[in-house]
Structure 1
Amino acid sequence: MAIALLGVCGTILLCLTIGTLLFDWHTVLSAVPSLVGGLVAALLMSENLKAINLDSLAALPIYMLMFHGILGYPLTTILLKKEGNRLKKEFHQNLQAMTGAKEVAERTKVITKIPTNYRTSAFALARTGFVAVLAVLFGTVTNNVINANVVCLIFGIVFCQLGFLEKDILKSAGVFNWLIYGLTAYIFAQLSTTTPSSLLGFIPEILVLIVLSIFGMFLISRLVYKWFGYSKEMAMTMTLTALFGFPADYILTNDVIKEVAENEKEEAYLTAHMMPKMLVGGFATVSIASIIVASVFIKLF
């Protein structure tokens, strides 16, 4: 997690220094949250830019979201393959090495079991909605010192640890994909006021800032990877999760593991060493850091 968050810092550092020398300050501020995050950060920036009458920049966060994966996906795949081949050699050099993920003891929860009669999709959605309402009320009481999206994220984690919400509750309720489709459609609806010419006008900013973002991640990961005992490939890959997050981090890692591994033991070893790092990295960057960055950057306009 620390490496992924430091990678975010590398992106912000280069974009706010070199980027602001090349482009307008507001343009860079509009683009950076999408460079270190996903849908929520892009939507948050786009809506707030419209609210402060910067409609000309409102589409830029969505553009960044559309394009940064073009470089992120192939780079991640290449680095994951290098890491996978390295781990496969390591596995054969030490046959006594761990061949599967370590079992993690389940944390004690306050609410240990929900009665069977209440394990329904409707009740799951009702509990999720209740937590969301509490988060919004907390934001109102605190005058929204912390952005509502961040508060919802924190409340979701807390109530999940307490046992009030199950892990992947929206998936178990059968509405996760439907909500993602709706959110995606709503986000790209922000492009309704744009034109091909406006997109072409942002091409220099998009390309330069994406390159600066990736170079910032690369620079930080090369400086710190030895401190955390990781290979440079794994460190760089973890920082790149900022460009896509979940579920892309899971899909890419799983596909690479299946391609590199030649048997079940190798697959288990690679999964145990690669998958947790990628998932945690994606959660740290896209689910947490990008929303906080967007909340802070909004106040800088």
Structure 2
Amino acid sequence: MQPIYIVLILITIIALGEVLSLSSRAKIPTLLVVIAVTFTLLQTGIMPESFIEASTFVAAGSVLVPVLIVHLGTMIPLSVIKKQYKAVIITLIGLVLSVGLILSIITLIFGYSTAVAGAGPLTGGIIAYIVTSEGLTAAGFTTLAAIPVVVFALQNLVGMPLTSILLSKYAMSIRDDLSNGEQETRDSTGGGLLGGESQKKLLLPEKFMSSDFFILFLLFIGGAFATWLGNITGINYSLWSLAIGVIGAAIRFYPDRALDRSNSSGLAMVALIIVVVNSLVGITFDQVVSSLIPVVSIIVIGTIGLILGGIIGAKIFKWKPTKAIPVVLTAMYGFPGDYLIVEEVSRSVGRTEEEEKQIMDELVAPMLIGGFTSVTVGSIVIASVLISTI
């Protein structure tokens, strides 16, 4: 079959996942649908395993991984992190406790390599999963290949309902305060969350930075440089990519949300998802079944660690746990789930436009920053460091 037809089949599966996710307001995650449908097609033989590799998108996606991580580094302006430092610190506390519990308890029960296989994906998103999956394959732990993909697929089903329940309770307290005429000083500004530094002058002339191709050129420079640094230092390229993106955005070498500015993020994400899909090749149904007990254990223990981190962070910064814990739980699903949950809670709890706005304004910034801190930054660091220890 020609590659164009294979890619059409794969994108159809991705589109199906998006339709179900949007229809359910992210209660059914896109990647869960993609993984479940593709795995079923592979196991039944309807889709031959050679198809995915023959799509040529696997090679493209692998090349784009360091470029995408550089892009992720440009997504969080440092000015926003400073304004939302409480959300950042609370999220980091949760990540440390979650990983600590997984490494200590899961290692005792199932072994250290199993703990590493689950810790990265649980605390982050698609990049952390790819880093973990690649590391396991390189280290020869092929029998553990099913663990990260199953953790990655199922964690949303735990994190999102918990977040929705807790945020609804917190939103009720906001609504009650407004009803009682209490005026509290709340963290209600995003600080330009989706591009707060975009007004600052870029390092390179604007006429060049208005070119999609030139921005892509700069991103590929960053990705190639990160790969080279990874080869000569032994430190995973993903860490270098992230650092280059953050520093590059801070000195305005890169515009904020660089890949979006080049109008290339959609196709890049498709390629990345196909890389994830390709990791299903060779995984059997028996492996998935045998991995369920360690996966459930990893998700339960990891979630407990995140919740404990939220409780500790709430005590430190005098937040209500019903606000702090959801900020930490964003590690299990990230964007756009965090935004959609806040939007849904504000609409369902708020009785007036004023109440909806107050709820939305207070919650959207810390929730998005929590997700970016964990999924975009923390999980990549965690996955990269842990995978180098096995």
Stretch of structure 1 that moved more, 31-40 or 20-29: 20-29
How far did residue 59 of structure 1 move? 2.7
Give yes or no for contact 2:118–2:151 (8 Å, CA) kept in 1: yes
User: Aligned pair in 2 of structure 1 residues 133, 71: CA closer, same or farther (>3 Å)?
Assistant: same
User: Aligned pair in 2 of structure 1 residues 170, 154: CA closer, same or farther (>3 Å)?
Assistant: same
Equivalent position SS for 2:315: coil
Which of 153, 160, 163 does residue 76 from structure 1 map onto?
163
Q: Which residue does 1:254 correspond to in 2?
A: 343
| CA offsets 1:42-94 (integer angstroms, 9 cap, x no match) | 11111111112111112321111001111111111111111111112223334
Instruction: Give the TM-score normalised by structure 2.
Output: 0.71
Q: Which residue does 1:157 correspond to in 2?
A: 246
Equivalent position SS for 1:226: helix
Are 2:353 and 1:264 aligned?
A: yes
User: Aligned pair in 2 of structure 1 residues 181, 256: CA closer, same or farther (>3 Å)?
Assistant: farther
Amino acid at match of 1:244: Y
Are 2:157 and 1:67 aligned?
A: no
Distance 1:103 1:76 in 2: 20
Give yes or no for contact 1:101–1:268 (8 Å, CA) kept in 2: no
| CA offsets 1:148-173 (integer angstroms, 9 cap, x no match) | 11111121122222222222222232
Stretch of structure 1 that moved more, 257-266 or 275-284: 257-266
Amino acid at match of 2:288: L
Q: Map of 1:126-137 to 2, 5 A cutoff?
A: 126-137=217-228
Amino acid at match of 1:172: R
Stretch of structure 1 that moved more, 200-209 or 158-167: 158-167
Equivalent position SS for 1:193: coil
Give yes or no for contact 2:145–2:283 (8 Å, CA) kept in 1: no
Amino acid at match of 2:212: S
Give yes or no for contact 1:38–1:244 (8 Å, CA) kept in 2: yes
Extract unaligned runs of 5+ from structure 1: none
Give yes or no for contact 1:99–1:269 (8 Å, CA) kept in 2: no
Query: Which stretches of structure 1, 4 residues or more, deviate above 6 A after TM superposition?
Result: none
Are 2:209 and 1:122 aligned?
A: no
Give yes or no for contact 1:37–1:286 (8 Å, CA) kept in 2: yes
Distance 2:191 2:209 in 1: 27
User: Aligned pair in 2 of structure 1 residues 140, 25: CA closer, same or farther (>3 Å)?
Assistant: closer
How far did residue 289 of structure 1 move? 1.5
How far did residue 98 of structure 1 move? 6.4
Which of 83, 86, 91 does residue 178 from structure 2 map onto?
91
Are 2:237 and 1:148 aligned?
A: yes
Q: Which residue does 1:172 correspond to in 2?
A: 261
Larger RCO: 1 or 2 (CA < 8 Å, sep 6+): 1
Are 2:310 and 1:221 aligned?
A: yes
Are 2:112 and 1:22 aligned?
A: no
| CA offsets 1:221-240 (integer angstroms, 9 cap, x no match) | 22331211211111110111
- % of aligned pairs identical? 25
Amino acid at match of 1:144: G
Amino acid at match of 2:163: T
Q: CA RMSD in A?
A: 2.4
Stretch of structure 1 that moved more, 274-283 or 213-222: 213-222
Q: Which residue does 2:388 correspond to in 1?
A: 299
Give yes or no for contact 2:164–2:345 (8 Å, CA) kept in 1: yes
Instruction: Give the TM-score normalised by structure 1.
Output: 0.90
